[in-house]
Amino acid sequence: MKSPFPLSLCLCLAGTAAAAEPPSADAAMPMPHAVVHADATAWGPAPPALPAGAQAAVLYGDPHKPGAFTIRLKFPAGFRVPRHWHPSDEQVTLISGDFTLSMGKKDEAMDAALAPGDYVDLPARMQHQASTQNGAVVEIHSEGPFQIHYVDPADDPRTRQD
């Protein structure tokens, strides 16, 4: 059976590609890479959409703007984020500690206890609740702008009158 492309044509195209000019200095250059060492993570207060006590660090992007972002959240022992959902997919990796996700509507939720290194993909609009007994650090990858919608509006710390 004959090949649809003669060998000489393939070699000619390969030679042309190899001889192509490198991009000019004016060509758009990709963003420089970033390295964030765990022991140098700049922690600050978590967004007001999360219950008090959590800390946050932005590793990549800007959660307040459209586009990809990566954040880490540090939760103290006994911390709980009530059932909520996000308009974008959310990828969660447990970095350290213990972390439990209750995924789905409350009456049909599936609980998953995570160990460090475990990963969960939460599709957009999936209701979920998060908690830790002894404290945890999680890394979240998503698309901004970051939004959190509590299933029970009374759980929203932005509107609570404690």
DSSP codes of every residue in 62-130: -TTSSEEEEEEEEE-TT-EEEEEE-SS-EEEEEEEE-EEEEES-GGG-EEEEE-TT-EEEE-TT--EEE
Q: How confident is the model at residue 4 (pLDDT cuts 50, 70, 90)?
A: very low
List pLDDT tens digits, range 13-46: 334 334 444 455 555 656 677 787 888 888 999 9
Residue 7 banded pLDDT, cuts 50, 70, 90: very low
Q: Where are the domains of the chain?
A: 27-155
- Reported as a single tens digit per residue, the pLDDT across 63-89 is 999 999 999 999 999 999 999 999 999
- The DSSP H or E segment spanning 10 is helix 7-18
Residue range 138-142: mean pLDDT, rounded: 96
Residue 133, pLDDT above cutoff 90: yes
Fold of the domain spanning 27-155: Jelly Rolls (2.60.120)
CA 160 – CA 64 distance, rounded (Å): 22
